[in-house]
Amino acid sequence: MPIFEYDCPDCGEPFEKLVRLRNGVADKVACPSCGSTKVKRKLSTFAAKSSGKSSAFSVSDSSASSCSTGGS
Ligand SMILES: [Zn+2]
């Protein structure tokens, strides 16, 4: 089972959690400090530095969808 790093937006406390995967989907994780379930998973460090070709994963491409709407 993988250990993921999380950040809690409520108390700002980073923590690590051993997460069970069900059908490739991680179980819900709650902050151990305040119990909030709005925690955000951080990008795993090994994935961030192992390959640079998947950098588009973290970049929002929604802005690129409407770039050619100029009429003259
Ligand atoms: Zn918290």
CA of 39 to the centre of ligand 1 (A): 7
Give domain status of residue 56, yes or no: no
In the chain, how many domains are there?
1
In a domain, 70, yes or no: no
* pTM given for the model: 0.53
Please give the distance, rounded to the nearest whole angstrom, from the Cα atom of residue 45 to the centre of ligand 1. 21
> Do the domain assignments include residue 20?
yes
Check residue 38 and give its pLDDT: 94
With cut-offs at 50, 70 and 90, classify the pLDDT of residue 6: very high
On whether residue 71 sits in a domain, the answer given is no
CA–CA separation, 59 vs 10, rounded Å? 24
Residue 15 lies inside a defined structural domain of this protein: yes
The answer as to whether 30 is a domain residue is yes
pLDDT reading at 52 higher than 80: no
Give the contacts of 6 (CB within 8 A, at least 6 positions apart): 14, 15, 16, 17, 29, 31, 39, 40, 41, 42
Near ion ligand 1, which residues have CB within 5 Å?
Answer: 8, 10-11, 13, 31, 33-34, 36
Domain hosting 25: range is 1-45
Structure tokens at 30: 């709650």
Which of 11-20, 31-40, 50-59 is the least confident region?
50-59
> Rounded to the nearest whole angstrom, what is the distance from the C-alpha of residue 34 to the centroid of ligand 1?
4
